[in-house]
Structure 1
Amino acid sequence: MSFFSTVVKFLALPFALASYRNDLRRTLLALSADGALMLLVLVGAMLVTVLPNLPAFDVVTDYRPKIPLRIYTADGALLGEFGEEHRDFTPIKEIPPVLKDALLAIEDSRFYEHGGVDYRGVARALAADLTGGFRQGASTITMQVARTFFLSQEKTVKRKLAEVVLAYRIESALSKDQILELYMNQIYLGQRTHGFASAARTYFNKPLAELTLAEAAMLAGIPQNPAKHNPAVNPVRAKARQELVLKRMLHLGKITQAEHDEAVGQPLKIGRSLQFDAHADHVAELVRQELYAQYKGEAYTQGFNVYTTLDKAEQNAAYDSVRRNVLAYDQRHGYRGPEGFVELPDNADEQEDAIDQILARHPGSDNLIAAVVTEVSAKRVRAEPASGDTLEITGDGLRFAARALQPNAKLDLRIRVGSVIRASQDAKGRWSIVQMPEVDAAFVALNAEDGSYRAMVGGFDFSRNQFNHVTSAWRQPGSSIKPFVYSAALEKGFSPATLMNDAPLSLPGGEGGQAWEPRNDDGFDGPISLRQALARSKNVIAVRLLQAISPQYARDYLQRFGFDAAKHPANLTMVLGSGSVTPLQMAGAYAVFANGGFRVTPRLIQKITDARGNVLWEAPAPPPRQEEQRAIDPRNAFIIDSMLREVVRSGTGAQASQRLGRNDLAGKTGTTSDAVDGWFAGYAGNVVAVSWMGYDQPKSLGGREFGATLALPIWIDYMRQALSGKPANERKPPPGVSYVDGDWLYDEFKGDDGVKALDVEESPLKSIFDAIRKVFTD
């Protein structure tokens, strides 16, 4: 037995098994007196320096891993994770044998046989250190556990000896399976990932149980050097390490030659970051803020699981719809030119470095990949993305940027060698030139009955802009505010059948002392019913209506729906949407029409559990609604609902009923002056949803753009998923309304103040209006 192994055993004396004590006793008897004395002196010195400084041992016997905060949809889809360490604690019995075999083959094939230390290996390591280099490790898995939990990574004799002593203590306190469980859950595996369960999700987007032999061998090769063998960063070295693992497994008889060969040849698709089941970054950030406010730093380490009210399919449909329609708008308005430019050196290595450096400043955005152009002509563009795979773009893929490929194109528009472009790949693998949009958008859907979120997309790209437009963007609502003024008018005795004159209107109060003359997008039509005026979004009729009920009354009335009166002017421009709202506020307001007249409070979190699944908090079941929660009369909600259905049936929102093929849709478009903001707010059944599009620095979206072209398509694409398989919802009229002459009205015409409002039916011109109405009806 070597001198160094004897030292090691003596240090471990208090914790080793009886057989080791007997070995040491025999070794000491065999040594000369001088040798024994020197040994005892060395051992004593080491005992003085090592043993008193050993850390508390309960960190492994009472293992409490740092498990991140995880956020899920109501149906269990992961949508966010926060914490310094990505980790899933997985009991040893749930770790698949193929992964355990792969790991032990390359890291410690005698793990279940040795007592925690490979003495010859330790002696070699100590000798190497004493002679000027610490190049030999020989660490068993138990020793790695000791180092991971208790020690620094410094390479000194003292640290190595402490590692050995701790290894014996661990072996005496825990079973082999417990030690392996600690190791496989704690070890660092690159990409901020700790433990193999999290690594499987990070690199392969799958649970441990679904790993193939090739994937298991790839993961097992990482622990020796996570930087060098990280498959996302160094795929070539990771592949070489994987093949070494497979070779060891074959040598140890864990796999057959055929299994070895198949695994070596299996192509692997490697992810670069943790994969989520649903795209909901803005939602995850909202939840993170809520949990941090309650638990502070522990929110990121205690393994809290937060279940939101979101639906996975609806959330992904909302995300896809926002992305698709923002890009469609961007395509309509033309290519703006490359994002950047870099001079490419002639030397291949220097060129690769230059490409890497500039692309680091242009990160990918989902399927919008940044790449540097290396070859260009009017018929073909070749470009290098960060992944290193050359993209070739031809044919229709060049159409969007065709002008930029012309030799006479302006410099800021022209695509040339060194240009940074964006490319997107379709389902058939064909690449096209695209661009990052400058415009942004937002979408939110609520359950109109209880206010729970069904979907939320706070912006086009969270990594580019963390600002949550749903909750925090105060924008002018345009005509989407009109239904609330119409609702107020019902309380003043007006009805959907009331006729008003759609004719030019000139009022004082314009800019520069000029008259203010509101206009319609589709001209003037003379006398028209309020139902048709709302359906066709007649601005002049809306102004006349607000003038009749007074801006102050309408402004106060808006508060019933949750709007902030201070955000809306007490003048006639209010009905054209000159105030400010958020998309979330708008969704809550339209929910009142959808649910029969009740205010709802938006809620996002359904349940919070700890790392063991124990429920820490759960949202109480919504109590039966009380009349004190009522915002408006049920008759009012019913009649406005019928008018909003007309908007979608025959008015500015007709595209929705045409594309979705349903007759229970209700909603209203909104376009602000100069098309700075585009809106659509609407509902069907118990789903109320709002979409918005605009620039963060407000500017016109284009002279031919409206809420119907900007926001309505987002709403339609989401509703297709949300309403799939659900029957149409027909609404029964509440008591107190009557269907008279083809439209609904209150049984009595009395407003809140008890004063009967003037209706066209009481006008001396009734016969004239009847004739006009007959023409419209015919």
Structure 2
Amino acid sequence: MPHDRPQPKAKPVASQKKSSTNLKPLSKSEVKADKKKHQPRWKRWGKRLLLVGAIGLGVALLAGVAVFAWFAKDLPSPDQLENRVIAESTKIYDRTGEHLLYETGKDVRRTYTKIEDISPYMIQATVALEDKNFYNHRGFDPIALMRSAGINVATDRQVGGSTITQQFVKLAIVGQERTYSRKIKELILSIELERKYSKDQILEFYLNEAGYGGINLGVAAASQSYFDKPPKDLTLAEAALLAAIPQKPNRVTQDQEALFTRKDYTLDRMAEEGYITEDQAAAAKLDPIELKRTIAKKDAPHFVDHVIAQLEDDFGSNFINQGLRVTTTLDYGKQAIAEEVIANGMEKVERYGGSNAALVSLDTHTGQVLAMVGSKNYYAEDYDGQVN
């Protein structure tokens, strides 16, 4: 007789339903809180620091904008640079307009010169020595500034980190006062200048503003003063020497040995930057250089003094810094003959008891002065040779 096998009891449906309702899904906020609870402490602090840093950066940026706006409101516009009045020395020439008789300049000797009339060597030497990243930055060089600041703090030495643009702004606009406000203004104007002008224009500004010893402002005055030539004719060695002057202009008169050492260093920098080869640098170091210092040159001096007196009557005493180009009636060939006549005739003059002599040559048709010698020696002190 078959035995009935007992069947397993089915679980009540109600109990199954009840257990499924106990597994409630977590809300998003609960999941987020749970993750945060189990997050490493360093991550939590890292996020807080990032938040604080972001807020601090935002505040710093706002403060920077405010400072920029505060200092920028009273600054001159870069547009004014092209129209600004530049003190230039007045030049007096003979009748051909070619022979320079005299260049005035009581406080300043300068001739504004276009960039195309300056030797490429002079431009390259200046960039290599003063601002090797000139063609890459936009007014200031943050790396150079940080490097110079580090050296200044570490060694207590004053090392410059200014770009050529900043140096021009300092020389021509904001002055050289050592204050933070002046430095901020310099920085703002440098950025504005780079937006307004090309690199060649900024170089032209700087090379006409930099000091090259004494009253020589600008490369043209320096080139004429030390080498008796225009800046477009400078040799490599001469350009390297002139480029070394603006950092310490007193070297010209007080420490020429240091100046020539700096000239050789400039040549090395030019080679490192790829402007010249090492062989060119080595050859230029051996190139003999003589500083002529032709500043006081005055040909036909009595005539020049006569012209200066007329210019003062016509334009006032400040004419010497107005950059005038004055072409006179003097014939320099006849002037040389007149000076020779006086020099050779003095023996006869003294034989008859005379002590001095003078000569004036006039064009009988126009009355123009062609030659003038006011005394036998303009520079004599025992009888006041400058009296005409």
What is the TM-score of this pair, normalised by structure 1? Answer: 0.39
What is the CA–CA distance in structure 2 between the aligned matches of 1:322 and 1:31, rounded to whole Å? Answer: 89
Q: 1:463 to 1:117 in 2, by over 3 A?
A: farther
Which residue among 283, 288, 303 is the counterpart of 1:262?
283
User: In structure 1, what is the equivalent of residue 127 of structure 2?
Assistant: 104
How far off its partner does 1:189 sit? 0.9
Q: Which letter does structure 2 place at the counterpart of 1:117? A: F
Q: Which letter does structure 1 place at the counterpart of 2:273? A: L
The structure in which a higher percent of residues are helix is 2
User: In structure 2, what is the equivalent of residue 60 of structure 1?
Assistant: 81
Secondary structure class of the residue paired with 2:357: strand
1:183 and 2:102 equivalent? Answer: no
Q: 1:108 to 1:130 in 2, by over 3 A?
A: closer
Question: Is the 8 Å Cα contact of residues 122 and 243 (structure 2) preserved in structure 1?
Answer: yes
What is the CA–CA distance in structure 1 between the aligned matches of 2:209 and 2:348, rounded to whole Å? Answer: 47
1:294 and 2:314 equivalent? Answer: yes
Q: 1:100 to 1:158 in 2, by over 3 A?
A: same
Q: Which letter does structure 1 place at the counterpart of 2:165? A: T
Which residue among 253, 258, 273 is the counterpart of 1:252?
273
User: In structure 2, what is the equivalent of residue 212 of structure 1?
Assistant: 235
What is the CA–CA distance in structure 1 between the aligned matches of 2:182 and 2:349, rounded to whole Å? Answer: 60
Which residue among 87, 95, 100 is the counterpart of 2:118?
95
Identity of aligned residues (%): 32
1:305 and 2:325 equivalent? Answer: yes
What is the CA–CA distance in structure 1 between the aligned matches of 2:154 and 2:67, rounded to whole Å? Answer: 19
Q: 1:440 to 1:164 in 2, by over 3 A?
A: farther
What is the CA–CA distance in structure 1 between the aligned matches of 2:345 and 2:67, rounded to whole Å? Answer: 70
User: In structure 2, what is the equivalent of residue 559 of structure 1?
Assistant: none
What is the CA–CA distance in structure 2 between the aligned matches of 1:324 and 1:253, rounded to whole Å? Answer: 57
User: In structure 2, what is the equivalent of residue 43 of structure 1?
Assistant: 64
Q: 1:449 to 1:100 in 2, by over 3 A?
A: same
Q: Which letter does structure 1 place at the counterpart of 2:131? A: D
Q: Which letter does structure 2 place at the counterpart of 1:453? A: V
Tell me which structure has the larger Cα radius of gyration: 2
User: In structure 2, what is the equivalent of residue 73 of structure 1?
Assistant: 94
Secondary structure class of the residue paired with 1:306: strand
Aligned length, in residue pairs: 332
What is the CA–CA distance in structure 2 between the aligned matches of 1:253 and 1:320, rounded to whole Å? Answer: 52
> 1:160-198: CA deviations, max 9, x gaps?
221111100110111111111111112111131111112
1:82 and 2:82 equivalent? Answer: no
What is the CA–CA distance in structure 2 between the aligned matches of 1:233 and 1:325, rounded to whole Å? Answer: 42
Q: 1:134 to 1:243 in 2, by over 3 A?
A: closer
> 1:25-57: CA deviations, max 9, x gaps?
xxxx99715633662575367447633342343
What is the CA–CA distance in structure 1 between the aligned matches of 2:340 and 2:332, rounded to whole Å? Answer: 12
> 1:70-119: CA deviations, max 9, x gaps?
11100221111223321122211222212111111111122112111111
How far off its partner does 1:221 sit? 0.9
Q: Which letter does structure 1 place at the counterpart of 2:222? A: A
How far off its partner does 1:127 sit? 6.5
The structure in which a higher percent of residues are strand is 1
Question: Is the 8 Å Cα contact of residues 82 and 288 (structure 1) preserved in structure 2?
Answer: no
Unpaired segments ≥5 residues, structure 2 = 1-49
Secondary structure class of the residue paired with 1:154: coil
User: In structure 2, what is the equivalent of residue 444 of structure 1?
Assistant: 360
Question: Is the 8 Å Cα contact of residues 282 and 462 (structure 1) preserved in structure 2?
Answer: no
> 1:711-767: CA deviations, max 9, x gaps?
xxxxxxxxxxxxxxxxxxxxxxxxxxxxxxxxxxxxxxxxxxxxxxxxxxxxxxxxx
Question: Is the 8 Å Cα contact of residues 443 and 456 (structure 1) preserved in structure 2?
Answer: yes
Question: Is the 8 Å Cα contact of residues 87 and 323 (structure 2) preserved in structure 1?
Answer: yes
Which residue among 468, 484, 494 is the counterpart of 2:387?
468
> 1:357-401: CA deviations, max 9, x gaps?
xxxxxxxxxxxxxxxxxxxxxxxxxxxxxxxxxxxxxxxxxxxxx
Q: 1:154 to 1:331 in 2, by over 3 A?
A: farther
Q: Which letter does structure 1 place at the counterpart of 2:387? A: N
1:317 and 2:340 equivalent? Answer: no
More RCO (CA 8 Å, sep 6+): 2
How far off its partner does 1:61 sit? 3.3
User: In structure 2, what is the equivalent of residue 169 of structure 1?
Assistant: 192
Question: Is the 8 Å Cα contact of residues 126 and 157 (structure 1) preserved in structure 2?
Answer: no
User: In structure 2, what is the equivalent of residue 159 of structure 1?
Assistant: 182
Q: RMSD value over aligned CA atoms?
A: 3.1
